[in-house]
Amino acid sequence: MIVPNIQEMEDAHYARYYARNPVTIIRGSGALLYDDKDREYVDCTGAYGACIVGHAHPKVVQAISDQAKKLIASHESTYNDTRALFASKLSTILPPELNRLFLSNSGAEAIECAIKVARKSTGRRKIVAVKGSFHGKTHGALSATWDAKYRKNFEPLVPDFVHIPFNNSEIAKQTISNDTAAVFVEPIQGEGGIRVPSKEWMALLTDLVHDAGGLLVVDEIQTGLGRTGKMFASEHVDIKPDILCLGKGLASGIPIGATVAAEETMSSLSVGEHTTTFGGNPIVCAAGSATIEVLLEERLVENAAKIGGYFKAGLSELMHTRRIIREVRGLGLMLAVETRFDVHQILTNALHEGVLMLDAGRNVLRFLPPLCIKTNQIDRVLAVLSKTLEREELAKLPG
C-beta separation of 302 from 309 below 8 A: no
Does the footprint of ligand PLP cover residue 274 (CB under 6 A)?
no
Segment contacting ligand PLP (CB under 6 A): 28-36, 59-67, 161-169, 216-224? 216-224
Q: Which residue is nearest to ligand PLP (CB)?
A: 107
Rounded CA separation 228/242 (Å): 20
C-beta separation of 356 from 45 below 8 A: yes
C-beta separation of 246 from 105 below 8 A: no
Does the footprint of ligand PLP cover residue 288 (CB under 6 A)?
no
Q: How many Å is the maximal CA-CA distance in the chain?
A: 70
Does the footprint of ligand PLP cover residue 135 (CB under 6 A)?
yes
Rounded CA separation 309/304 (Å): 8
If 0-12 CB within 10 Å is exposed, 13-18 middle and 19+ buried, where does residue 160 land? middle
Q: Between 54 and 136, whose beta carbon lies closer to ligand PLP?
A: 136
Q: Which of 134, 146, 166, 367 binds ligand PLP (CB under 6 A)?
A: 134
- Residues in the chain, overall count: 399
Rounded CA separation 358/210 (Å): 36
Name the pairing type of β-strands 126-130 and 180-185. Answer: parallel
Q: Which of 28, 30, 46, 107 binds ligand PLP (CB under 6 A)?
A: 107
Does the footprint of ligand PLP cover residue 132 (CB under 6 A)?
no
Q: How many residues bind ligand PLP (CB under 6 A)?
A: 15
Q: Between 163 and 322, whose beta carbon lies closer to ligand PLP?
A: 163
Does the footprint of ligand PLP cover residue 222 (CB under 6 A)?
yes
Q: Between 134 and 382, whose beta carbon lies closer to ligand PLP?
A: 134
Segment contacting ligand PLP (CB under 6 A): 32-40, 82-90, 129-137, 146-154? 129-137
Q: Vertex 395, ends 394 and 399: CA angle to 5°?
A: 45
Segment contacting ligand PLP (CB under 6 A): 59-67, 107-115, 201-209, 285-293? 107-115
Going by the DSSP 8-state scheme, the letter that residue 227 receives in this structure is T
Q: Which of 112, 161, 185, 191 binds ligand PLP (CB under 6 A)?
A: 191
Rounded CA separation 181/274 (Å): 18
Name the pairing type of β-strands 161-164 and 180-185. Answer: unpaired
Does the footprint of ligand PLP cover residue 219 (CB under 6 A)?
yes
Q: Between 252 and 388, whose beta carbon lies closer to ligand PLP?
A: 252
CA atoms within 13 A on the CB side of 91: 15
Minimum gap (Å) between residue 257 Cβ and ligand PLP: 7
Q: Which of 104, 106, 121, 122 binds ligand PLP (CB under 6 A)?
A: 106
Q: Between 107 and 330, whose beta carbon lies closer to ligand PLP?
A: 107
C-beta separation of 10 from 18 below 8 A: no
Does the footprint of ligand PLP cover residue 247 (CB under 6 A)?
yes
Does the footprint of ligand PLP cover residue 359 (CB under 6 A)?
no
C-beta separation of 164 from 152 below 8 A: no
Give me the helix-helix angle, 81-91 and 282-297, nearest 10°: 30
Q: Between 246 and 300, whose beta carbon lies closer to ligand PLP?
A: 246
| Residue 323 Cα to chain centre, angstroms | 30
Segment contacting ligand PLP (CB under 6 A): 103-111, 118-126, 200-208, 382-390? 103-111
Rounded CA separation 319/267 (Å): 50
| Residue 189 Cα to chain centre, angstroms | 10
Minimum gap (Å) between residue 144 Cβ and ligand PLP: 9
Does the footprint of ligand PLP cover residue 108 (CB under 6 A)?
yes
Does the footprint of ligand PLP cover residue 194 (CB under 6 A)?
no
Q: Between 285 and 382, whose beta carbon lies closer to ligand PLP?
A: 285
Minimum gap (Å) between residue 105 Cβ and ligand PLP: 8
Q: Between 109 and 338, whose beta carbon lies closer to ligand PLP?
A: 109
Minimum gap (Å) between residue 185 Cβ and ligand PLP: 10
Name the pairing type of β-strands 215-219 and 243-246. Answer: parallel
Q: Which of 43, 112, 186, 242 binds ligand PLP (CB under 6 A)?
A: 186
R_g of the chain computed on alpha carbons: 21
Q: Which residues in this chain contact ligand PLP in the complex, by CB under 6 A?
A: 48, 106-108, 111, 134-136, 186, 190-191, 219, 221-222, 247
